[in-house]
Chain A
Amino acid sequence: MSMLRLFYFAGIFFYLYLPIGVLIANAFNLNKYGLQWDGFTFKWFTAMLENHSLMAAARHSIVIAVCAATLATIIGALAAVGLNRYRFFGRKVIQGTSMTLMMAPDIILAIAFLVLFISLGIGLGFWSLLFSHITFCLPFTIMTITGRLQDFDPNILDAARDLGASEKNILARVILPMMRPALISSWLLAFTLSLDDVIISSFVTGPSYDVLPLKIFSMVKVGVKPEVNALAALLVLLSLALVIVSQLMLKEKKIA
């Protein structure tokens, strides 16, 4: 029984990791089409660096992910604090909207954003992409930070107020330092969500601001492209690094 279980887990993980393994192997494979192993090479990485439009798309994706993660974390932190501390008209509506954004399939959000930007007359490019990415990351950052806020001892906040701290001071000197670990993990989550997005990006960006998913999609639709393998291998390593960092953060949070 135990052996069977081991085989079961091995089978599932084999299925999950085989494509990634093949991808990384082919990034170093001399055979252009990955038909067989012809020997080790770095040539596809050079080809990738020389493919200017691919590199531009990669740069754009990283810029969007960094900006979206940062802003989604800031707005998410303010929203989490606001929803947690204040009772105001429309609070339930905001919570409901946040839930809807989180549950709605990407394709629905994608076309809803597209219709919004066209109606507002915002051209498709950097800004439309940034606003959409912040918005679909927000529910997740709010959730992560709210989780942390709920663990606080409310007496600390009362003590700060009794000692004469203003609302601004309470936010900046008490709440902000206490939620720092949650801010870091929510930034990492938003960064990953932004970098992983395919569907929303395909709708809300234009030819002036190409991003990775679109570029990769148009390159591989016709066949295998070895420089995409090289880039994909780097992306896998990047996500692996992010997982490790976020796990270390979690450990720190437990100790703190």
Chain B
Amino acid sequence: MKIADKTRFFIILLISGWFILFGVTPLLLLVMTSFLTMDPADLVQFSFTLKAYSQLFIEPGYIIIFIRSVKLALATTLLCLGFGYPFAWYTARMPPKWRTSVLILLMIPFWTNSLVRTYAMRMVLGTHGILNKSLLSLGLINTPLKIMYTDYAVLAGLFYLMLPFMVLPLYATIEKLNFQLIEAARDLGAGAVSAFTKIIFPLTLPGIMAGCIMVFVPTMGLFYVASLLGGARQLLVGNLIQQQFLNARNWPLGSATSIVLIIFMALMLIGYGLLLHRFSRERK
């Protein structure tokens, strides 16, 4: 073997080996585990069953958690979109020198451990937190609001953590937008609303979709936000998976839950792909 081939061989072997061992294998094992039988003594028994899936779709408790989780993730996504879109829009329209500063300011909290930030959120939202203190001293409320340990606290925390994931893809799309199209539309008599619905919205739709997927999917897994801000109730699919793996030791059920989550995500990605496809065809 020539030396050149040796180097080449070593590199290909290393990366293929790594991705097969730590990338492909774990995911296949996860799929396999979801079809195994739970065994309280030995984690799993190697006999094929669909019990975990049937449990997931039949027992109302799990369906309720799924629905609650989807609702909360959807609310987070809409909140991020509502606040993130204008943010990304105005940032993209700033002079370039300002843009970088604004984006860095957005990213700095994002570089800090998210558990620490969730914990910090608790000091803001608590009964004696700074939010209640300010509202009380302004005379806007008479008794402290009970936000902590409600779904609103979880929502506030999720929004806080996920906002940059919405802003960045939106910003990337808006920055590339041909702003002359909007001017042309306005010159031809389009109002602000129809310029938005007919030009801006369709052209930034890929960014909107990308941002929504990047917020929606990980949100369902952020179990620690729900445990720290939301109290005892199981709020997110992430809590369910965590509980099945670390406390109840029902690995098949935990795996099946995550497979359902993966399928959910794959469907969203396929939808996104179809949209992009239609989009590029329309442009031609």
Q: Tell me the A residues contacting B by CB distance below 8 Å.
A: 5, 8-9, 12-13, 15-20, 22-23, 26, 33-35, 75, 78-79, 81-83, 86, 88, 90, 93-94, 97-98, 100-101, 103-109, 111-116, 118-119, 131-132, 134-135, 138, 166-168, 171, 192, 195-196, 198-199, 202-203, 212-213, 216-217, 220-221, 224, 228, 232, 235-236, 239-240, 242-243, 247
Contacts and interface: CB of A to CB of B under 8 A. Distances in A.
A135 B22 contact: yes
B40 interface: no
Contact of A235 (B112, B122, B163, B269): B112
Interface stretch (B48-56, B59-67, B173-181, B241-249): B241-249
Nearest to A8: B86
Interface in B132-183: 160, 163
For the complex of A and B, 10 pairs with smallest distance between CB atoms? A107-B221, A112-B26, A19-B120, A167-B4, A116-B26, A23-B120, A239-B111, A97-B23, A79-B15, A82-B11
Nearest to B133: A36
Contact of A198 (B43, B124, B224, B262): B224
B111 A18 contact: no
B202 interface: no
Nearest to A240: B108
B113 to A, nearest CB: 5
B267 interface: no
A232 B121 CA distance: 13
Given A8-B87, A198-B115, A203-B245, A35 B12 contact: no
A235 B116 contact: yes
A112 B25 CA distance: 9
A5 B94 CA distance: 11
A212 B113 CA distance: 10
Interface in B215-236: 217-218, 220-224, 227-228
Contacts of B185: none
A12 B90 CA distance: 13
A105 B121 contact: no
Given A115-B29, A199-B221, A166 B19 contact: no
Interface of B: 3-5, 7-8, 11-12, 14-16, 18-19, 22-27, 29-30, 33, 43, 83, 86-87, 90, 102, 104-109, 111-117, 119-124, 128-130, 160, 163, 217-218, 220-224, 227-228, 237-238, 241-242, 245-246, 251, 254-255, 258, 261-262, 265, 269
A236 B112 contact: yes
A18 B22 contact: no
Contacts of A168: 3-4, 7
B242 A16 contact: no
A217 B226 CA distance: 12
B120 A98 contact: no
A96 to B, nearest CB: 9
Contact of B15 (A94, A213, A216): A94
B133 to A, nearest CB: 8
B85 to A, nearest CB: 11
Nearest to A88: B12
B4 A19 contact: no
Nearest to A168: B7
Given A107-B261, A108-B261, A166-B3, 17 more contacts: A9-B102, A23-B120, A75-B14, A75-B15, A79-B15, A97-B19, A107-B241, A111-B245, A115-B29, A115-B255, A116-B29, A134-B22, A135-B23, A196-B112, A198-B114, A202-B242, A240-B108
Contact of A19 (B27, B123, B220, B246): B123
B242 A107 contact: yes
A111 B43 contact: no
Given A19-B123, A20-B109, A88-B12, A107 B258 contact: yes
Contacts of B116: 23, 216, 232, 235-236
A105 B124 contact: no
B117 A20 contact: yes
B112 A13 contact: no
Contacts of B26: 109, 112-113, 115-116
Contacts of A202: 224, 242, 246
B119 A26 contact: no
Contacts of A221: 227-228
A118 B104 CA distance: 40
A195 B238 CA distance: 20
A115 B34 CA distance: 11
Contacts of B224: 198-199, 202, 217
A58 B29 CA distance: 32
A12 B223 CA distance: 25
A111 B254 contact: yes
6 contacts: A22-B123, A79-B15, A93-B19, A106-B218, A213-B115, A243-B104
